[in-house]
Chain A
Amino acid sequence: MSAGDLANSVSSNRSASSMRWGRAAREFLKTAASVSVTILGLLALTFFIGRLLPLDPVLAILGDDASQEAYERMVIKLGLDKPMWEQFITYLWNSLHFDFGMSLTSGKPVTEDILRVFPATLELATVAMILGTGLGIPLGVLAAANRDTWIDQVVRVISLIGYSAPIFWLGLLGLVVFYAGLGWVGAPGRIDIVYQYDLETRTGLYLIDSLLAGRLDIFADVFGRIVMPAAILAYGAMAYISRMTRSFMLEQLSQEYIIAAQAKGASRLSVVWGHAFPNIAVQLVTVVALSYAFLLEGAVLTETVFAWPGFGRYLTTALLRADMNAVLGCTLIVGLIFITLNLLSDVFYRIFDPRTR
């Protein structure tokens, strides 16, 4: 996002344009400064976790029975003999180049690992997001429009369960019932081993790749496998989105302009969807962006249950082996995704809400 883009979103009213330019530029600088400080903080926090907490990084790499000599060599190799601030600068420098060091588990650079596993999670999260948003928003609107009726209660119960149920448990139950019991969905894993090397990966998203390759049999297999984990993830997102939608809608429905629209004779449908809903759209984008980021959290647990070879499983594996480079790399990436999504929804807000133009 550049200052130019921000300014383009501002109406091109001549007389005020120079003033608006100034304001847009100032706002942009302010946002940029604040984001950089947050990112710096993010790096400091991960550095702190990696270097200052009790776990000895050297022992983590070499194992407990390393010789004194090997230990010292490793200390020097990792730069642990340098003063803390120097280590931090090096860490900053490397991280800014997306160099998170080598993974102990795979023996490859962490960045390379993350790039490899990320499409699996992206695909899962996106399908979940489509499901969760597509169901959550209408449910929330419906609940608000029928406040305190049985519809509202049903939506409330559905979302409460979504909030309260441990996602890994839902996943296990889902597997028992729909895979083992009914046979409606595919086995755990992302793709059948038979197809694994058959599919030319162009985007890394198997649903799309299989369609691009014209392999409907692979598509069916991939689809059958993604449905269950995506639905489980989507349930949590739906619970959150529907609740937020409901409360945003309730706020709008109590506004005077809603009375005005009713006084005009607008139908209930038009009042709810035509008048109130557009007014929450911008807020909803923030919520959807946020829940996209929270899906990453859900993915850590879901991927373990469904043997999904994605980001979440990579992180858990790294955790269990105390592979700190990989853990911190993953953590940092999640933080950056979070910040980026926040920033994007902020920009969206500025562009699409006429009140902020």
Chain B
Amino acid sequence: MTDTPVMQPRGSLREWLRAPTASSPRQARAQAVWRGWQRLITNRAAFAGLIVLLILVTLAVVGPWLTPYSVMGQDLSVRLQPPSAQHLLGTDDLGRDILTRILYGARITLMMAALVAVIAGPIGLAVGATAGYLGGWFDIVAMRLVDVFLSFPSLILALAFVAALGPGIENAVIAISLSAWPPIARLARAEALTVRKSDYIAAARLQGASPMRLIMKHVMPICLPSVVVRVTLNMAGIILTAAGLGFLGLGAQPPSPEWGAMLASGRQFMLTSWWLAATPGAAIMLVSLSFNLLGDGLRDVLDPRND
């Protein structure tokens, strides 16, 4: 937004946000966001999800400084140790500290999820907004394509892509992104359809704005909020898919502390040393649970019926 900020007397931001009637569109918008935020943090589950995610991100960032152990360093003298004071989550078959590896793994998982979000989000947004705004043959072709992609459960499609591209983290990210954009495109299109006919778009068009510019400047910003919520909601699924690929040996490869891969290599020790497979699985669940809680909360906030 380019309009100059309204001057505020110090300390009255709260009042400004809470004023019973808004005196400018800007204030009204800010108030809507503020109310949404209030509702989000009063929703205990969503708030918990948010907090856990923040903690996880922090841990992923500072993790390496928290632990005395190295992520790859093997020490066969302490292999398969159960959880203890030295190794809070025990050690694996090569004597590596599992907690350390889980902390490093958080980086990989969160990074993969973030990459998928920044690849699939914009692609879906661009395709959907353009299709919804332009209509016509572009719309027909794009939505057919979306239908085709949606004819596969996302893991299956990602598997097919990985099979062709070859295993590995980068390819897993590409494969998951390729299977994650279609639902976003469909959503963005639905949003774009609702604004296509609005007066201000017509006004901008009359002023001679090109379709490209209209889509970028006016249609996409309108679609953005729901796309962001949708991506948050899909994040849990993305993480599960990434872990599934790792587990099948098609994502991150073994020495990597990716959680799915850790689980797969801990699997053979399941019956004797349960913590090898149990802990990375619990970590995956914690992250995807947090995203689900946050996503649910966001959806509740944006759905006026839940007032």
Contacts and interface: CB of A to CB of B under 8 A. Distances in A.
Given A42-B148, A168-B263, A339-B151, A53 B161 contact: yes
A49 interface: yes
Interface string B82-95: 00000000000000
Interface string B141-173: 000110111011111110111111110000000
Contacts of B282: 169
Given A165-B288, A180-B270, 14 more contacts: A41-B147, A54-B165, A164-B292, A166-B243, A166-B284, A169-B278, A176-B274, A296-B156, A300-B159, A327-B159, A330-B156, A331-B152, A331-B160, A339-B151
29 contacts: A38-B144, A41-B147, A42-B148, A42-B151, A46-B160, A49-B160, A49-B163, A49-B164, A53-B164, A55-B164, A164-B236, A164-B288, A166-B288, A168-B247, A168-B281, A169-B278, A169-B282, A172-B267, A172-B278, A176-B270, A296-B153, A297-B154, A297-B155, A319-B162, A319-B163, A327-B163, A331-B152, A331-B160, A334-B153
Interface in A275-326: 293-294, 296-297, 300-301, 304, 315-316, 318-320, 322, 324
B289 interface: yes
B240 interface: yes
Interface string B267-282: 1001100100110111
B54 interface: no
B100 to A, nearest CB: 20
A71 interface: no
Residue of A37, A49, A54, A328 contacting most chain B CB atoms (<10 Å): A49
A32 interface: no
A118 B187 CA distance: 34
A160 interface: yes
A87 to B, nearest CB: 15
Contacts, number: 139
B249 interface: yes
A324 B166 CA distance: 11
Contact of A176 (B160, B271, B288): B271
A28 interface: no
B61 interface: no
A301 B159 CA distance: 11
Nearest to A323: B163
Contacts of B296: 160
A66 B270 CA distance: 40
A220 interface: no
Contacts of B154: 297
Nearest to B145: A41
Residue of B147, B163, B267 contacting most chain A CB atoms (<10 Å): B163
B293 interface: yes
A166 B285 contact: yes
B31 to A, nearest CB: 26
Interface in B101-133: none
Nearest to B259: A166
B28 interface: no
A335 B152 contact: yes
B229 interface: no
B263 A55 contact: no
B250 interface: yes
A54 B165 CA distance: 6
Interface of B: 144-145, 147-149, 151-157, 159-166, 236, 240, 243-244, 247-250, 260, 263, 267, 270-271, 274, 277-278, 280-282, 284-285, 288-289, 292-293, 296
Contacts of B280: 169
The main secondary structure of chain B at its interface with chain A is helix
Nearest to A335: B151
Interface string A138-175: 00000000000000000000001101111011001101
B285 A54 contact: no
Contacts of B260: 166
A319 B244 contact: no
A324 B161 CA distance: 10
A322 to B, nearest CB: 6
Interface of A: 37-38, 41-42, 44-46, 49-50, 53-55, 160-161, 163-166, 168-169, 172-173, 175-176, 180, 293-294, 296-297, 300-301, 304, 315-316, 318-320, 322, 324, 327-328, 330-331, 334-335, 338-339
A163 B240 CA distance: 9
A113 B237 CA distance: 30
A354 B286 CA distance: 45
B110 to A, nearest CB: 16
A95 to B, nearest CB: 14
Given A55-B166, A161-B289, A301-B248, A45 B148 contact: yes
Nearest to B250: A319
B156 A53 contact: no
B59 to A, nearest CB: 19
Contact of B166 (A42, A54, A304): A54
Contacts of A50: 164
B248 A45 contact: no
A319 B172 CA distance: 13
A180 B288 contact: no
A38 B147 contact: yes
Nearest to B147: A38
A327 B167 CA distance: 14
Contacts of A176: 270-271, 274
Residue of B153, B282, B285 contacting most chain A CB atoms (<10 Å): B153
A175 B277 contact: no
Contacts of B244: 166, 168, 300-301
B280 to A, nearest CB: 8
Nearest to A319: B163
B249 A320 contact: yes
A319 B159 contact: yes
A166 B270 contact: no
A243 to B, nearest CB: 10
Contacts of A163: 236, 288, 292
A21 to B, nearest CB: 28
